[in-house]
Amino acid sequence: MQKAISFLLTLLLLFFTAGTAWGASSHMPLEGGIANEYDYEEYIFVTGQPVHMQGTVRVTISAGRGDTTTTRFTFNLSDATGQNKLNRSTTYVEMATQREDQQQSTKTTQLDRITETITIDGNRYQLVDGRNFKSVLVDKHPVVNYYSGNWEGRKIYNVNRNQGRLTVESSGHTIGYDHNWGRSETQRMTHLLQYRPVNPGVEDNSPFTSPWDGQVDYAINLSTNRQVLYHNNDPVNISFSGGYIISEQGSSASVIRYDLPWMAEIDNEPIIDNHYRHRDELQLSLTTSPKVHRLYVPNFEDIRNHWAQSYVNRLAGLKAWNGHSGYFGPIQPITRLDFARAFVQTLGIVSPEGPSGMIAYTAGYPNLPNPGEKAQGPNSTTRPSARDPYNGATGTPRQLAAASNPSPFADITPAMEGFEEVRLAHAQKIMNGVSATRFDPYGLLTREQAATLIVRGLGLIDLAPAGFTYSPFYDDHQISPWARDSIYVAQELGILTGDNYGYYRPQEVMTRAEAAALQVKAIEFLQYDLKHDYRDRLLNLF
């Protein structure tokens, strides 16, 4: 029997719908399960022992009034024997509230409706009451959005038609991020189980006549990551020796630790003893099928065997540079216009006006369509670029320049190449003009200015310690006061390094090769270091 997860998408939940915009936290792990585009699985503990369930989940998403979104999950699960079954339908309503400064938003989710029936070994667990309240704060930055949330919930089951009552109290918190090169969310939660017989009599250690208690702790991670991989061409007689590939893959993993009553069988009769405990750990993991995309292969003759060749080629594949002349000019100084264009194209600046869907939500809601399709709410209208979101992996512009978009500066016009990137960088307060009316597109960028722009985009300036900060460079005294914290943070994150002699040369103009290396290192920080912090480190701390 072919396994498939069916997704009915009334409206698409990527990172751009009103109620679940970029920075959304997944509701699926609230049940303790994980999924890919084919399978869903979870462990249930209603019997006092772990039971592994697998099957399908159907997701329906619709926009409500104002900034609300309704998400419905329909689960149809069974164990390996096919005799034990779980049928569950949950509906969540999420409301987003935006702060006036547009930098933060809160998303409050309430369990609006739930039905659930579980049958294990002929015993029936019927949900009679279910509640869950979740609130998430999203801190928005031009390149990365960070979010953190908490929730509390409760389920009450009627066991075997009033033979007993099982109460499951749940609480948890989540922490995560998303950006153009990946996303990761780690959720931790605790379920406290309490079973009580309805008519307690003489306890005979039967699972349904004896009270018992248990605790189950979960650590669940959902991640999606894009990697840039080089593929070499084997033939000798070929016009290009190889090229870069974007590979995107989602993963979900769960670590479960439980403390439950001891249970055994004597003379084929199950017995349970709440004084003796059964403690163990379980793990689940799934990955999605990888998606690949070949990048454009440049032909810059002046970077062959150059130390920055791989950096330049990777960014060129992402359409960060124009290649009209066939020459890159690695030792030439980079202009403000070229840096803005490469920054927006590769790191993925979010347009405040357009949809912010970026990377497929393959981990939290698997197998959704490609990002970029605008959800249609009641009486809503689609923006001109709703089906053309920016995609840093392919260089597709997120928000196409429209004739009505005025230039924020007198010296850069909509007809100029790179206008849209400058407009986005300015709108998101990454780059300011040299005056109120001039951007100075062909002005040169210093090394300390470039470091400041990178850290500003990441939103991590507060990682610098309070007070006066020192960098490890010999020319630390030459760093301008306004750039000191950014250089400290960028150096700590491994995004920038000094030269072979230990100098950073903050006042010198940055070359095009150095700019390429800086931006690739920023991408690698997003791809690997950030994911390690939010996934590997947090799961190891569990």
Name every residue whose Cβ is closer than 8 Å to that of residue 122 and which is 6 or more positions away in sequence: none
pLDDT of residue 66: 76
DSSP symbol at 459: T
The angle, 0 to 180 degrees and rounded to 10, between the axes of the packed helices 336-343 and 419-427 is 80
* Total Cβ atoms within 10 A of residue 478: 14
pLDDT of residue 205: 67
pLDDT of residue 463: 95
Give the span between the Cα atoms of 198 and 210, in whole angstroms: 10
Q: Which tokens is 16 given?
A: 């751009």
Torsion of Cα atoms, 156 then 159 then 163 then 169, to 10°? -30
pLDDT of residue 404: 55
Q: What is the pTM of this model?
A: 0.85
Contact present, 424 and 344 (Cβ < 8 Å): yes
DSSP symbol at 511: B
Where are the domains positioned within the chain?
A: 34-291, 297-370+407-541
Q: Which tokens is 480 given?
A: 């301008």
Name every residue whose Cβ is closer than 8 Å to that of residue 304 and which is 6 or more positions away in sequence: none
Q: In angstroms, what is the C-alpha Rg of the chain?
A: 27
DSSP symbol at 295: P
pLDDT of residue 68: 87
Residue keyed to tokens 């698409």 = 12
What does pLDDT average to in each consecutive run of 10 residues of the chain (542 residues)? Answer: 34 29 64 89 96 92 82 94 96 84 85 96 96 93 92 96 95 92 92 91 72 96 90 91 89 95 82 92 92 88 93 90 80 96 83 39 40 35 33 37 69 90 90 92 96 95 92 95 96 94 96 96 94 89 74
pLDDT of residue 202: 58
Q: Which tokens is 422 given?
A: 């400058």
Contact present, 146 and 459 (Cβ < 8 Å): yes
Q: Which tokens is 38 given?
A: 């084919």
Which stretches of 304-346 are DSSP H helices?
Answer: 309-317, 336-343
Give the span between the Cα atoms of 238 and 129, in whole angstroms: 67
pLDDT of residue 369: 37
Backbone angles phi, psi at 198, to 5 degrees: -70, -40
